[in-house]
Structure 1
Amino acid sequence: MSERDESTHPTDGSTVPATTPKGSSPGARLARNMVFYTIVRLLLVLALTLVIIGLGSLAGVQIPVLVAAIIAVVIALPLSMVLFSRMRAQINSDIAEVDAGRREKHDDLRRRMNEA
């Protein structure tokens, strides 16, 4: 059993929260990173929308906000894949860590059910 397993499953029956090296649970870290990533992507869409409207007005063309927003979303998708690749990689590792914890708990539950 690893040190993390012992901290989450003590032998005396009490529950002790697991600690990770970064000081927060993987689920909380995943939620925080997802919220941050979502906000950054929305800000990118907003910035691109404003740039499209600005370029339109410089060219003397009135671009509706909805059309500019749709174009911005289409541009932001591949752009965010490139610009925010490190954030996505961190989120993927957080998802893998949460999934591993769930799998560990599931296996532990199965093991205890088979022992009973």
Structure 2
Amino acid sequence: MTSPTPPPQAAARARAGEPGLAATVALYALARLGLVAVVALVLTVAGAPLVVALLVALIVALPLSMVLFRGLRGRLDRAIAASTATRSAEREALRAQLRGDADPRPGDGDRVPGSAGSADGETDSDGDRPGQQQ
């Protein structure tokens, strides 16, 4: 069995020094959890009960993280877009392989060539719809 070669987008991302999707998601999640912890700690030191401090920290951290972590969110968006593009290219290549094509053609993956009759209103040779009883 041969080992799969990395997709071109992953190789370009590795050369650019950007981490993959999982690392970016983990970094963003840790940054947001850290922000909640810092806000809760500040509120607890200020004299608020721990449960109240945690609830307020959860509410305050959401809009604050949108402002503070704008660059990290942009990197996460780029990682998601790259992952989506890679998966789409791999899916199209697999569909082309299953069709027997040497090169994938965009847009042909939804229909199987040579298939006759479907539930979309096409009729069979007798003029009846497939599955229709007489």
Distance 2:56 2:33 in 1: 14
Partner of 2:6: 17
Query: Which amino acid letter does the alignment assign opposite residue 79 of structure 1?
Result: L
Distance (Å, rounded) in 1 between the aligned partners of 2:5 and 2:61? 43
Distance 1:22 1:109 in 2: 22
Structure 1 or 2: more helix by fraction: 1
Greater length-normalized contact order (CA 8 Å, ≥ 6 residues apart): 1
In structure 2, the gaps of 5 or more residues are: 102-134
Change (3 A) 1:104 1:53: same
1:82 to 67, 91, 97: 67
Tell me the amino acid that sits aligned with residue 71 of structure 1. V
Q: Percent identity?
A: 34
The change in CA–CA distance for 1:42 and 1:23 in structure 2 (over 3 A counts) is same
Q: Aligned residue for 1:54?
A: 45
Whole-angstrom CA distance in 2 between matches of 1:82 and 1:43: 15
- Structure number with greater Rg is 2
CA RMSD of aligned residues (A): 2.1
Q: Cα distance, 1:17 vs. partner? A: 2.9
Aligned ranges 1:72-111 → 2 under 5 Å: 72-111=57-96
**Normalising to structure 2: TM-score of the pair?**
0.63
CA distance in 2 between counterparts of 1:66 and 1:35 reads 25
TM-score with structure 1 setting the length:
0.72
Q: Does 1:37 align with 2:37?
A: no
Gaps of 5+ in 1: 1-12, 57-62
User: CA offsets, 1:45-70, max 9 Å, x none?
Assistant: 111001111223xxxxxx22111001
Give the drift of 1:22: 4.2
Letter of the 1:49 counterpart: A
The whole-number CA distance in structure 1 between the counterparts of 2:73 and 2:3 is 36
